[in-house]
């Protein structure tokens, strides 16, 4: 590893904190358990904030901790303004925010604006009859004359997107589990209620939101059938995969609601919003949801989250979709998360996994946009194979064995190699510890100067200390075979980043090599060569 690092007077110092930020995602159930019940909690996270701050990240994103029956582990919200007792209390949350801020960490939390739990008080009222005050807060429809659902829409987790409710004599819509009824976000009263939820958390000091599944927030009120999807090469494991999802989501009125959220955010100081936008072709929606200065600050899609391979072409296509142009939003990137399998297991070759991981982490920290690190990526945690009898994920259970379990990426964080359950809990953990995770537990990794953890800290620091990495534009120079080369350029700095994404050594050096100085490298890269899975960054000096 080259130790040379250039710190420059930087225009990046004047940027909003979130532009170029590194964000660390925590899944509360699996991070740290303070009371021995086998489930992580807010006090456990608070106790580990020093570790998170030591990474050099700007912000912590907390996955849902709200009151919930946990049928979808918090994404089925029963009280948007409450903390589920398994995670602690509102006082615990306030203490977490206070300590995070004292350490210089921003706090982002999830907001789920497309659906609630069927145990939410809003839904309990809505389902009573057809004329109550919240009768139109959810998506209800009469059956067809033969009693079947009103259209052919399918849910993500399998089966029709409609469930019969005898109290109203109607079907209610759900894009996910039947216990996650779809809100009617077309309704201005619903929008106002959701804005009230956002205000509640902003007033408690949160610095921003990650907005879940925002493209599911509105549907076609005409309930038009979705057309069939054309044949493709991908495996279809759910009825959902057989349709083009045109009418049950992605309604053109969503950006107007997004603008209302942004207006609220702007009434506070220096707040940030990043939207999750899924689907096979999310680019158009991500642009609409982040357009100009009146919508979300950023969005991330699934470019890398479910990719079977990481290639120069994939990286080029993802980056070129977010040019540095007026009116185009600021991108965020995630390689894995609580829903997507760990990238080191998807992409890393068995015989060179460590070297490959080092190259990918350097690439990740070099991209234009925000980098969202999923807990454990900094350790090099692998995906865990969860046996059927221990599965918790409702999607995996319903579609077993063809749907890859989300549980395999959600396993507990290993803190101490020699402790019970690697120091995650004194009790029985809600998911098993990865069998190879003790070898890279935090205490082991802290003691190893060549660990993935040490490299991640080093690369985050490098990113934070170099203007072009934080706010510079990006221009692809080469993306062919295993070679990826791009420039990062700001007013103060000009860098070129080169990556060998394959096992075969490559010869490469910048044009006019005497005008460049290598300032960072992994896996024995030199100024003129890229061995297997090697990478280097050079700075223009003349």
352, two tokens: 């060179």
pLDDT band at 9 (very low <50, low <70, confident <90, very high): very low
Mean pLDDT of 115-130: 98
Q: How distant, in Å, are the alpha carbons of 54, 60, 263, 300, 462 from that of 42?
A: 19, 13, 30, 26, 30
Confirm whether 276 is a catalytic residue: yes
Instruction: Label residue 497 by pLDDT band (50, 70, 90).
Output: very high
Residue 92's CB is within 10 A of a number of other CB atoms, namely 19
β strands within 355-441, DSSP E:
370-374
Sign of CA dihedral 105, 111, 117, 121: positive
Count the alpha carbons within 13 Å of 469 in the hemisphere toward its beta carbon.
26
Contact assessment for residue 181 and residue 118, using Cβ atoms and an 8 Å cutoff: yes
CA 457 to chain centroid: 20
Residue 233: pLDDT over 80 = no
Can you tell me the mean pLDDT for 188-207? Answer: 98
**Strands 529-530 and 79-83, bridge-based pairing:** unpaired
| pLDDT at position 4 | 39
Residue 203 CA to residue 164 CA, distance in Å, equals 38
- Provide the pLDDT for residue 402: 66
Q: Which candidate in 58, 212, 378, 467 is catalytic?
A: 212
Q: Please state, as a whole number, how many other Cβ atoms lie within 10 Å of the Cβ of residue 540.
A: 16
* 8 Å CB contact between 248 and 219: yes
Give the integer Cα–Cα distance in Å for 476 and 316.
7
- The two three-digit tokens of residue 428, written as one number: 């029985």
pLDDT at 265 over 70: yes
Q: What is the largest CA-CA distance in the chain?
A: 78
Residue at token pair 């409702």 = 394
Expressed in percent and rounded to 5, the helix, strand and coil fractions of the chain are 30, 20, 50
| 535 neighbors 1 (Cβ within 8 angstroms) | no
How many beta carbons lie within 10 A of that of residue 239, not counting itself?
A: 16
Q: Kindly list the structural domains of the chain, giving each domain's residue range(s) and its CATH number in brackets, ordered by start.
A: 16-116+186-463 (3.20.20.80), 472-540 (2.60.40.1180)
Answer for the pair 114, 80: CB distance below 8 angstroms, yes or no: no
Note the pLDDT of residue 403: 66
The pLDDT of residue 21 is 98
Distance from C-alpha of 24 to C-alpha of 32, rounded to nearest angstrom = 15
Question: For the segment 329-340, what is each residue's pLDDT rounded down to a tens digit?
Answer: 999 999 999 999
Q: Which residue has the tokens 């977490």?
A: 96
520 beta partners = 537
Q: What is the pLDDT of residue 7?
A: 42
Averaged pLDDT for residues 292-303? 94
Q: Which runs of consecutive H residues, i.e. helices, occur in 253-334?
A: 254-266, 283-289, 312-320
Burial class (CB in 10 A: 0-12, 13-18, 19+), 188: exposed
Confidence of residue 440 (pLDDT cuts 50, 70, 90): very high
**What token pair was written down for 429?**
């953990």
Sheet with 516-522, edge to edge strand ranges: 473-480, 483-489, 494-500, 535-540, 516-522
Task: Calculate what percentage of the chain has a pLDDT beyond 70.
Answer: 97
User: CB of 401 within 8 A of CB of 388?
Assistant: yes
* Residue 451: pLDDT over 90: yes
Task: Indicate which residue of 41, 276, 378, 393 is catalytic.
Answer: 276
Q: Write out pLDDT tens, residues 90-117.
A: 999 999 999 999 999 999 999 999 999 9
Q: Mean pLDDT of all residues in the chain?
A: 94
DSSP code at position 217: S
Interhelix angle 254-266/188-203, nearest 10 degrees: 30
Closest CA to 25 of 62, 53, 51, 75: 62
Is the confidence at residue 385, as pLDDT, over 80?
Answer: yes
Question: Is position 91 annotated as part of the catalytic site?
Answer: no
Identify the residue whose tokens are 């100024």: 527
The pair of structure tokens assigned to 142 is 């009469």
More confident residue, 387 or 138: 138
30 contacts 431 by C-beta, under 8 angstroms: yes
The structure tokens listed for 157 are 């987790």
CB environment 456-468: b (16+ within 10 A), e (fewer): bbbbbebbbbbbb
**Strand (E) or helix (H) holding 356:** helix 353-364
Asked if residue 6 has pLDDT above 50, the reply is: no
From CA 466, how far away is CA 492, in angstroms rounded?
A: 9
- Whether residue 3 has pLDDT greater than 50: no
pLDDT value for 400: 79
Least confident span in 35-39, 207-211, 397-401: 397-401
In degrees rounded to 5, what are phi and psi of residue 221? -60, -20
Structure tokens at 8: 């420059």
Least trusted range by pLDDT, from 5-14, 81-90, 105-114: 5-14
Q: What is the C-alpha separation between 425 and 431, in angstroms, rounded?
A: 11
Beta strands in 225-360 (DSSP E): 272-276, 298-300, 330-334
């Amino acid at each position: 590893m080259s130790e040379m690092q250039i710190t420059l007077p930087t225009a990046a110092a004047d940027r909003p904190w979130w532009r170029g930020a590194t964000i660390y995602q925590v899944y509360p159930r699996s991070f740290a358990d303070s009371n021995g019940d086998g489930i992580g909690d807010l006090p456990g996270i608070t106790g580990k904030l020093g570790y998170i701050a030591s990474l050099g990240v700007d912000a912590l994103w907390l996955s849902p901790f709200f009151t919930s029956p946990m049928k979808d582990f918090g994404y089925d919200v029963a009280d948007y303004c409450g903390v589920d007792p398994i995670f602690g209390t509102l006082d615990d949350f306030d203490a977490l925010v206070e300590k995070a801020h004292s350490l210089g960490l921003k706090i982002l939390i999830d907001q789920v604006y497309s659906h609630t739990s069927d145990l939410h008080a809003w839904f309990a009222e809505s389902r009573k009859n057809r004329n109550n005050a919240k009768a139109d807060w959810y998506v209800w429809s009469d059956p067809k004359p033969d009693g079947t659902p009103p259209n052919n829409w399918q849910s993500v987790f399998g089966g029709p997107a409609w469930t019969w409710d005898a109290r109203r004599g109607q079907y209610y819509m759900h894009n996910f589990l039947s216990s996650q009824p779809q809100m009617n976000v077309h309704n201005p009263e619903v929008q106002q209620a959701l804005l009230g939820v956002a205000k509640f958390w902003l007033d408690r000091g949160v610095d921003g939101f990650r907005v879940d599944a925002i493209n599911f927030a509105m549907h076609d009120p005409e309930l038009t059938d979705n057309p069939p999807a054309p044949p493709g090469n991908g495996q279809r494991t759910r009825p959902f995969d057989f349709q083009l999802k045109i009418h049950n989501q992605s309604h053109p009125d969503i950006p107007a609601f997004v603008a209302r959220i942004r207006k609220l955010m702007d009434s506070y100081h220096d707040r940030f919003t990043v939207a999750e936008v899924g689907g096979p072709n999310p680019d158009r929606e991500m642009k609409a949801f982040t357009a100009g200065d009146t919508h979300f600050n950023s969005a991330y899609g699934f470019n890398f989250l479910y990719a079977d391979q990481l290639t120069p072409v994939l990286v080029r296509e993802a980056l070129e979709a977010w040019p540095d142009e007026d009116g185009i939003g600021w991108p965020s990137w995630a390689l894995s998360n609580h829903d997507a399998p760990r990238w080191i297991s998807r992409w890393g070759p068995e015989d060179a996994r460590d070297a490959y991981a080092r190259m990918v982490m350097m690439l990740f920290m070099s991209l234009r946009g925000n980098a969202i690190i999923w807990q454990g990526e900094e350790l090099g945690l692998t995906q865990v194979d969860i046996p059927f009898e221990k599965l918790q994920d409702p999607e995996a259970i319903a579609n077993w064995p063809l749907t890859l379990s989300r549980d395999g990426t959600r396993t507990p964080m290993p803190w101490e190699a020699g402790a019970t359950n690697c120091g995650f809990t004194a009790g029985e953990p809600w998911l098993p510890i990865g069998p190879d995770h003790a070898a890279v537990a935090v205490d082991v990794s802290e003691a190893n100067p060549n660990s993935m953890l040490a490299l991640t800290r080093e690369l985050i620091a490098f990113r934070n200390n170099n203007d072009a990495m934080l706010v510079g534009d990006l221009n692809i120079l080469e993306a062919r075979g295993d070679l990826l080369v791009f420039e990062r350029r700001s007013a103060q700095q000009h860098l070129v980043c080169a990556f060998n994404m394959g096992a075969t050594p490559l010869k490469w050096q910048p044009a006019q090599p005497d005008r460049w100085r290598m300032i960072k490298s992994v896996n024995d890269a030199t100024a003129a060569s890229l061995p297997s899975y090697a990478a280097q960054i050079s700075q223009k000096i003349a």
